[in-house]
């Protein structure tokens, strides 16, 4: 895998702006080590995979969306995969609404994270 490709740089920048919370579901994400994440949030390593930080194009690439700072946000793998699983992916705004309402009903992520106040720094 290429390191420091443009999309990786954009993803990391977006993730930092979002404080490593998913653009859609606001859950915390990890970048390199699922084990630290699973220990911190008390989930299995397998469950932690859903929360991997991925680059998400607000305007999908197939619709002409480009790799630019304005178009790339950081989303967890679960939200990213579910958006693009649809034949006709929803636009980012309506997909975000869907995720938020599902989250409120507890019907989105199959695992719930035990929220521990994150240490600062
Ligand atoms: Zn998410």
Measured between alpha carbons, how far is 116 from 80 in angstroms, rounded to an integer? 24
Ligand 1 center from residue 121 Cα (angstroms): 23
User: What is the Å distance from ligand 1's center to 25 Cα?
Assistant: 4
The tokens describing 119, both together, are 């240490």
**Closest alpha carbon to 41 in 111, 120, 106, 113:** 113
Domain membership of residue 54 (yes or no) is yes
Determine the distance separating the centroid of ligand 1 and the alpha carbon of 78, expressed in angstroms: 6
**CA 109–ligand 1 middle distance (angstroms):** 8
49/29 Cα distance (integer angstroms): 9
Interval between CA 12 and ligand 1 midpoint (Å): 15
> Which is it for the CA torsion 69, 30, 8, 12, positive or negative?
positive
Whose tokens are 């240490």? That residue is: 119
Residue 65 CA neighbour count, 13 Å, CB half: 18
DSSP label at residue 49:
G
- Structural domain contains residue 113: no
- Each residue of 8-59: pLDDT tens digit? 999 999 999 999 999 999 999 999 999 999 999 999 999 999 999 999 999 9
Task: Indicate whether 84 belongs to any domain.
Answer: yes
Residues surrounding ion ligand 1 at CB below 5 Å = 22, 24-25, 76, 79
pLDDT reading at 119 higher than 70: no
CATH no. for residue 54?
A: 1.10.30
Q: Which DSSP category does 69 fall into?
A: T
Rounded to the nearest angstrom, the distance between the alpha carbon of 54 and the centre of ligand 1 is 10
Residue 92 lies in a domain: yes
- The 10s digit of each residue's pLDDT in 79-96 is 999 998 888 878 999 999
| Residue 19 structural domain | 6-104
| Count of domains for the chain | 1
Query: Does a structural domain hold residue 52?
Result: yes
Instruction: Say how many Å lie between the CA of residue 35 and the centre of ligand 1.
Output: 18
The answer to the question of residue 12 being in a domain is yes
């Amino acid at each position: 895998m290429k390191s420091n490709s443009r999309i990786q740089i954009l993803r990391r920048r977006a993730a930092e702006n979002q404080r490593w919370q998913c653009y859609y579901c606001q859950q915390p994400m990890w970048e390199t080590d699922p084990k630290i994440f699973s220990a911190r949030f008390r989930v299995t390593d397998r469950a932690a995979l859903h929360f991997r930080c991925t680059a998400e194009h607000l305007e999908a690439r197939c619709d002409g969306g480009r790799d630019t700072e304005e178009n790339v946000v950081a989303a967890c793998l679960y939200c990213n995969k579910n958006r693009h699983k649809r034949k006709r992916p929803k636009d980012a705004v309506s997909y975000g609404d869907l995720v938020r309402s599902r989250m409120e009903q507890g019907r989105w992520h199959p695992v719930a994270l035990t929220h521990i106040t994150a240490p600062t720094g």
